[in-house]
Structure 1
Amino acid sequence: MKMKVALHNLGCKVNAYELEAMQQMLEQAGYEIVPFAPGADIYIINTCTVTNIADRKSRQMLHKAKKMNPDAIVVAAGCYVQAKKDEVQIDPAIDIVLGNNKKQDLLTVLRQYDREKGQDKELIDLKRPVEYENLQLSSTGEHTRAYLKVQDGCNQFCSYCIIPYVRGRVRSRRRPEIVDEVKRLVENGYQEFVLTGIHLSSYGVDCEDSLLQLILAVHEIEGVKRIRLGSLEPRIITEEFVKTISSLSKICPHFHLSLQSGCDATLKRMNRRYTAQEYLDGCALLRKYFEHPALTTDVIVGFPQESEEEFEASRAMIESVDFYETHIFKYSRREGTRADQMEGQIPEQVKAARSHILIDLGRQQKQKFMEYYLGRNVEILFEEQAEIRGKTYWIGHTREYLKVAADTKENLENCIKIGKIGGFVEDGVFICAI
C-alpha cells in the first residue's frame, strides 16, 4: 500500500518552489499525495521564520499535523527549524527535522527513519560554505506560470533580518541547469517564468555569472513568452541593466524594488546598502526605458529609533515614486539580529498608526495606477476560472501583473489574448472585452 503524504507550505515563493520539488520527488518515488487533512501517514510542513507570526504559524501547523494523526511521521522543514534548533530538538510533535539544504535528501531521510524508528533531527551548519541544493521541477501547482528558484542564501545581513543565518551564504544554481528546467517546463505547457531567489540580485556572484546573463539565456528559449523578475535590490538597476532588459520582448514591465525606508539615517541603521537617492535613480531609469512600468516595493515602519521626521521622509518618498503596490510591514523584533538589541524600540501603537497612513497612501496609488489602463488594450495571460459576485469569469494577468476578468464561454486556460479594459468587476480586478 502506498504511503500517503500531505504537504503544507508557509512563507515565500522560494519555499513554495522547494515544497513542489519535494512533492515531485515523492510522487516519482511512489508516494501518494493527499490533502493536508486527517488520514495521511506523513505530514511535511515547509516552515518560515521571517517574523514572530511566521514562527507561531509554523509551530501551529506542526502541532496540527500531529493532532490529525498521532501515529503519522511529522517532518518539519525549512527556515523555522533552522532558526529554532533547540526548540525543535525537544518538540514531541516533530519526528524529522529537514533543515535548509537538506530538502534534497528527503527520500533518503524518510527511508532511514523507517528503518531506525527514531527521531532524525540533523541540521546542516549554514555558517559554513555549502553547495547549491539540487532541487528541480518539471511541473508546478500553477498551470501557466512557473517560479524558478535560481539562487539561495544572502550575504547582506540587514540588521533586522534573520534570513542569512537560516539560509546561509549566497549560492547560485548553474545556468545550464536552469535552462534545462525551463525547457522541460515549456514542454509541459508553461509560458511565463518568474526568476526568484532569497537574494536574486546576488545571482552569479559566487560562480562568475550574473543575473543579466541568466535573463538573456532564458529569453533565448523557444516557447518562453514572458519573464518576470523577483525582488531586486536598487543597486542592480544600472543604465546597462535596464537598457538591456528593455530590449527583450519577453520581459514583463513589473519590477519589485525593496525600499524598506525612504530615510538615509534609517537605511544606515538597517544596513541597507543604498541611499534614498540611489533608489529614486533606479525608479527613474525603469521609467526611462519602460512605458508605465508597474513598480512595487516593501516598507518597514517603526524600525528602532525611527523618528516622526524619518517616517515622514519615507511617506514623502513613497508619495513621490507613485508605486503600483506598496507592501507595508510593522517592524518585528527577531532574536539573533542586531536590530533586536538596538535602543529606541518603537511602541506598537505608533507602528500601527504609521502603518495605516502608508497603507492608505498605497491604496490611493494603486487605484491611480490601475485607472491609467481604462479603455486601453492590454495583453493578458489567462490562467483559470473564478467566481466573482456570483458569476464565473476567466481570470488572467497583464504583463504589468494587473488582474483581469473576461466574461466568455471560450476556454481561455493558458491562452494569451489582447483585451480592452472596460472598467472594474470588483476592487483590484478589471473587466475586459476580448
Structure 2
Amino acid sequence: MENRKKRAALHNLGCKVNAYETEAMKQLLEEHGYEIVSFEEEADVYLINTCSVTNMADRKSRQMLHRARKKNPHAVIVAAGCYVQSAGEEIVRSKDADLVIGNNQKARLPELLEPFFEEGSDREKTGGSHPADSFVIDIAHTSEYEEMALKKTAEHTRAFIKIQDGCNQFCSYCIIPYTRGRIRSRRPADVLSEVRRLSEAGYREVVLTGIHLSSYGKDLEEKISLLEIIRMVHQIPGIQRIRLGSLEPRIITEEFVKELSSMEKVCPHFHLSLQSGCDATLSRMNRHYTTEEYYDKCKLLRKYYEHPAITTDVIVGFPKETEEEFKDTLLFLRKARFYEMHIFKYSKRHGTKAASMSGQVPEETKTLRSHLALKLEAKLSEEFRYYYMGKTAEILLEEPHAFGKDVYITGFTREYVKAAVKLTKENKEKMLPGRLIKVKMTGVLGDGLLSAEWTP
C-alpha cells in the first residue's frame, strides 16, 4: 500500500446535485493523494453516492454496494448520500458498507477514510468484518450549507454548480426533505469564486442547480434572491451561457422572466416541475398551484422568448388517480407542448404522507400509464425539435462521434436541442470543443439528434 497511491473508484446515482457532489468528493480524494480509477477496476476504496428518490433508486444503491464488495472484498466500501440518510442503520446492520456517510458530511471523506489505512489500525482489514463507521447527522436540524467546490468537471464544456440544498415543500410523495433537510443556500461569494475558477479553466456554460433552486437565498442574512445571483454570474467574463436547474412554477413571474430575457447569457431552457396535469391529483400531492396557474407560467415564458424549451417531471399512478384524472393529465401535457418530460411511476416512500393513502394504484396500471405518457413525450419532443429544421441556431461544440462512416462533432443549442456537424478536411481545425458556432439545421441523424451545416 505504501509503495503506490491508494486507488479509489466512485459511482454516482441520482440527480445533478448528487453528480456535483460526487465530482467534488473525487477531487478531494485526488488532493489527498488518491488515484481515481474506473469502477470496473480493482480499487482500495469504492464509493457509491446513493439516491433514494424511488424504490428503484434504493435497490440500485444496494446493488452497487454488493457489486463493489464482490470486486474487492478487502476494499473499503463507502456508502454516501440520500439512501444512507434514510436507511443508514439498515446499511450498518447489513455490513454492506464499511463507512457510511450521510448528507452534509461528504466534505469529510478523506478524513473519515484515514483510520482504514493507518498501519496497525484494526480498521485495516475490512470486508465487512467490522460494524460500519457511521457518520449520519440529523439533517432536519442543520442550517449549515456544506461547502464543496469544483476546479473541473467530468464534462469538458459545461459545468454544473450546486448553489442550494434542502427543501421545505413536503410534497406528499417526496422523501427529499427527509434526506436533504431544510433549505440551505451557498454564500454568493463562494458561488462566484467557483464560477470564475471554472471560467478561467475554459468552461463556457454553467448550470446553476440545487435541490429546491427557487428558494435560493431565502435563508441567507443578506436575503439575496435567485434572480440576483443569476445577475451576478451573468457579469463574469468568459461564461457565455447560463442554464438553470429545476424551478418551481411560482417563481415564474412577469418581473422574473422579463429580467431573465434581458440577460443574453441565460438560455431559454426552463425545467418547471409539474407532476400532474389534474388539479385534484395536484392537491393530493400538496403541490401549491393549479393547472391553470401552471399554464399561465408557460404563456409568460413564451411571451418573452420566441420558442423556449419547457421541460417537466410527471408522476403517473399517484394514489387515487383515476382513468379520468390520468386523461386530464395527458390533455394538459398536449396543451402545454413540453419539449421533454421525465415520466415516473409513483413510488411509495416510507414516511411520506402518500405512502399511507388509500387507493394505491396497481403496478400494471402505472406501467400502462407510463407507456402512454412516454409515447406522448416522444411525439411532443419531435415536434419541438422539428421547429428548427431549416433554421439557423447557435451550438456549443462538445465532442466528436462516429455515425456510420463519418465523424461528426455534436453540440447543443441554447434550447438544449442536440445537433451534429460533419467533420471535413476544410472545417476540422475549427470544429473545437468549447467553441460556439452558427449552424443551419438540415435533417435528422438519429433519435433526438439533428444534423446541421456550419454557417461561418
TM-score class, shorter:
over 0.9
* SS of equivalent residue, structure 1 residue 195: strand
Per the TM alignment, residue 113 of structure 1 is displaced from its structure 2 partner at its CA by 3.9
Two-structure CA RMSD over aligned residues (Å): 1.1
* 1:39, distance to aligned residue in structure 2 (A): 1.7
> What TM-score do you get using the length of structure 1 for normalisation?
0.98
2:98 aligns to what?
95
For structure 1, which segment, 243-252 or 85-94, has the greater mean C-alpha deviation from structure 2 after superposition?
Answer: 85-94
SS at match of 1:84: helix
Q: Check if 1:256 corresponds to 2:266.
A: no
Tell me if structure 1 keeps the 8 A contact 2:88–2:100: no
Measure how far apart 1:335 and its partner are: 1.0
CA distance in 1, matches of 2:115, 2:230: 40
Corresponding position: 1:11 with 2:14: yes
Q: Supply the AA of the counterpart residue of 1:375.
A: G
Gaps of 5+ in 2: 124-131
Residue matched to 1:344:
359
For 1:136, the aligned partner's letter is A
Alignment of 1:233-244 (within 5 A): 233-244=248-259
Q: Detail structure 1 runs of 4+ shifted over 4 Å in the superposition.
A: none
Partner of 1:424: 444
Q: Match of 2:28? A: 25
**Aligned residue in 1 for 2:73:** 70
In 1, Cα distance between equivalents of 2:186 and 2:257: 23
Equivalent AA in structure 2 for residue 70 of structure 1:
P
- Out of 126, 129, 134, which is 1:121 matched to? 134
Deviation, structure 1 residue 234 = 0.4
Match of 1:157 in 2: 170
* 1:313 matched to 2:333: no
Render the CA deviation track for 1:339-364: whole Å, top value 9, x for unaligned.
01000001112112222221111111
Residue equivalent to 2:312: 297
Query: For 2:269 and 2:403, how far apart are their aligned partners in 1?
Result: 25
- Within 5 Å, which residues of 2 pair with 1:406-421? 406-409=421-424, 410=428, 411-421=431-441
DSSP-derived class of the 2:206 partner: strand
Deviation at 1:390, TM superposition (A): 4.4
Bigger CA drift: 320-329 or 115-124? 115-124
For residue 319 of structure 1, report the CA deviation from its aligned partner.
0.8
Following TM superposition, by how much is the alpha carbon of 1:114 offset from its aligned partner in structure 2, in angstroms? 3.4
Whole-Å separation in 2 of the counterparts to 1:221 and 1:185:
11
Which of residues 114, 120, 134 is equivalent to 1:111? 114
| 2:202 pairs with 1:182 | no
- CA shift, 1:86, in A, is 2.1
1:323 corresponds to: 338
Deviations 1:351-397 (A, max 9, x none): 12222221111111111111110000000001001122343210110
Contact 1:38 1:69 (8 Å CA) reproduced: no
Q: Distance in 2 between matches of 1:302 and 1:191?
A: 40
* Local SS of the residue matching 1:45: strand
**Structure 2 Cα separation of the partners of residues 228 and 30 of structure 1:** 34
**1:68 deviation in Å?**
0.4
Distance in 2 separating the partners of 1:153 and 1:278 = 25
Residue 284 of structure 2: aligned partner: 269
Q: Which moved more, 1:203-212 or 1:354-363?
A: 354-363
Question: Which residue identity is paired with 1:355?
Answer: S
Between the two proteins, the alignment pairs up a number of residues equal to 434
Q: CA deviation digits over 1:123-177, x for unaligned, max 9?
A: 1111212300010001101000000000001000111010110000000001110
Instruction: Say if 2:225 is the partner of 1:210.
Output: yes
1:216-268: per-residue Cα shift (whole Å, max 9, x none)?
00001011100000110100000000000000000101111011011111111
Cα distance in 1 for partners of 2:175, 2:39 equals 28
Q: Distance in 2 between matches of 1:179 and 1:300?
A: 35
* Stretch moving more, 260-269 or 389-398: 389-398
**Alpha-carbon deviation of 1:413?**
1.1
In the alignment, the residues of structure 1 paired with residue 247 and residue 403 of structure 2 have an alpha-carbon distance, to the nearest angstrom, of 33
